[in-house]
Amino acid sequence: MADKSFEKCILCIGAGYVGGPTMAMIAAKCPRYEVIVVDINARRIEAWQSDNLPIYEPGLLEVVKQARGRNLFFSTEINEGIRKADIIFVSVNTPTKTFGEGAGRAADLQYWEKTARSIVAAADRDKIIVEKSTLPVRTARALERILSANDKGIHFEVLSNPEFLAEGTAIKDLEKPDRVLIGSQETESGLRARNELVDIYANWVPRDRIITSNVWSSELSKLAANAFLAQRISSINSISALCERTSADVTEVSNAIGMDTRIGKRFLNASVGFGGSCFKKDILNLVYICENYGLHEVARYWESIVRINEYQEERFVRTMTRVMFNTVADKRIALFGFAFKKDTGDTRESPAIYVTRMLLAERARVVITDPEALENARRDLAEEKGDVLYEQDPYSAAAGAHAIAVLTEWDLYRTLDYKRIYDSMEKPAFIFDGRNILDHQKLHELGFSVFPIGRPALKHF
């Protein structure tokens, strides 16, 4: 039971990009609940207890500080947390399987299953279990089987409550979500559990934004939402390739099509490609599920979203090599940004990893700069052979470089002194704007040869 002073005890297993911010928001908004976040990774928990949080997310520290020590606690005592909790959110990682059947596509559910087994072993009364991780549709059924295989007479009610936050805007997304989705069984205990979870969110989310469904729809909605978002990026990126051949300008095309209210403006920026821990993994997971049900055409359709993304990353580096006189060997290339998007230090599946690998394969000398992601970049590239440097300061990164490639849309890169940068670089100086965020005309006037995505290049030769 929760401490007498608290109405309810909520536990979250998994203190990552989702578990940490989500629970911090619940704790901040609901001082009457005790919220405990546990993880097997002691270093991560220690960081959550400090002011040097394990993840960078604007506004997160303020929210954590509001509740930490009051009703928000971080701990490695997983069994104790399980015993105490009335509701258990499970937010462990569900990466793509790298071995055995379904390798490279199916979700690796080992962390998820281990968690379920820990819950069964430690629990001594009925609990509500909430799937917060993104899972293949119908995982709740498997989970229920594991949970109900107990001889303690304990009932676990499994709900699906996928998380739709985006890294970089997690706090805003959690504070004012477009919607909260809760999937439950239509049984009496299922509906009771669902209402209990609705009541938690209703502390700050308007009721009409809390929607409910059956468990399978809820699980599938998360995979489908990520597939649709990624599909928009791959769609505009495929058009960007055609723009580059026809002198059409992808920013003009995306503006023109985005003004159609049926299409809408968002997620229509052409770029070097999408990254992040979720899009690729969730689409591949969807592909795997479709194949399992014999829906091969549907699987091929969604798989092509990932293929276009890989094509776009590859095309970016091929353009770099081609325009730099067909060789980048021994040339210093400064990568502006390594995170998969701005306002996060997360580099999982970042296009920058792929671009770096390809440049190193071409024997370029790569210098990486990023305001938040250098530590992760070092880890990602630890095994790579070749010449890689890390520079916090973008001016130092660019000094002596033959080219700059903008790979993350950090606001900082829009406001640098590019005259100073140009003067410090080898000539001819190239900029490859993989995010289309810079003022290309101005850069061209300064002397740069500029290669945007899906827009005519501005050259000096």
Ligand X SMILES: NC(=O)c1ccc[n+]([C@@H]2O[C@H](COP(=O)([O-])OP(=O)(O)OC[C@H]3O[C@@H](n4cnc5c(N)ncnc54)[C@H](O)[C@@H]3O)[C@@H](O)[C@H]2O)c1
Chain centroid to CA 112? 19
CB of 164 to ligand X, least distance (A): 7
Task: State in angstroms the smallest separation of the CB of 228 from ligand X.
Answer: 14
Which long-range contacts link 103-107 to residues 24+ away (Cβ below 8 Å)?
A: 104/284, 105/284, 105/285, 105/287, 105/288, 106/136, 106/284, 106/285, 106/288, 107/134, 107/135, 107/136, 107/281, 107/285, 107/288
Cβ 19 to ligand X shortest distance, Å: 6
Question: In the complex with ligand X, which residue's Cβ is closer, 132 or 455?
Answer: 132
In the chain, the amino acid numbered 218 is S
Q: Active-site residues: which are they?
A: 278
Query: Quick one: 73 or 448, whose CB is closer to ligand X?
Result: 73
Angle between helices 296-323 and 279-292 (to 10 degrees): 150
Judge contact between 219 and 161, C-beta under 8 A.
Answer: no
| Strand, coil or helix: 72 | strand
Edge-to-edge strand ranges of the sheet holding 33-38:
72-75, 33-38, 8-13, 87-90, 127-131, 156-160, 180-184, 210-214
- Strand partners for 389: 367
CB 131 within 8 A of CB 206: no
Binding site for ligand X (CB under 6 A): 13-19, 39-41, 44, 78, 91-94, 111, 114-115, 133-134, 163, 165, 167, 277-278
Question: In this structure, which amino acid lies at residue 275?
Answer: G
Find all residues with CB under 8 Å of 341, minimum gap 6, and list them. 167, 168, 275, 276, 408, 409
Q: How far apart are CA 108 and CA 115, in angstroms?
A: 13
Comparing CB distances to ligand X, the nearer of 345 and 371 is 345
Give the burial string for 362-394 (b: 16+ CB within 10 Å, else e). Answer: bebbbbbbbbbbbebbeebbeeeeeebebbeeb
Strands (E), 250-357: 332-336
Least CB distance to ligand X at residue 125 (A): 20
- 3-state DSSP assignment of residue 419: helix
- C-beta of 10 vs 15, nearer to ligand X: 15
Q: Which residue lies nearer to ligand X by CB, 14 or 177? A: 14
Beta carbon nearer to ligand X, 178 or 186: 178
d(CA 267, CA 234): 10
**Beta carbon of residue 16, minimum distance to ligand X (angstroms, whole number):** 2
195 Cβ contact partners less than 8 Å away, ≥ 6 residues apart: none
Q: Which C-beta is closer to ligand X: that of 94 or that of 254? A: 94
- Beta carbon of residue 438, minimum distance to ligand X (angstroms, whole number): 27
SS percent in the chain: helix, strand, coil, step 5: 45, 15, 40
Name the residue with the smallest CB distance to ligand X: 16
- CA dist., res. 348 & res. 339, Å (int): 8
Nearer to ligand X, 220 or 438 (CB): 220
Output the smallest distance, CB 376 to ligand X, in A: 11
* Nearest distance in Å: CB 272, ligand X: 19
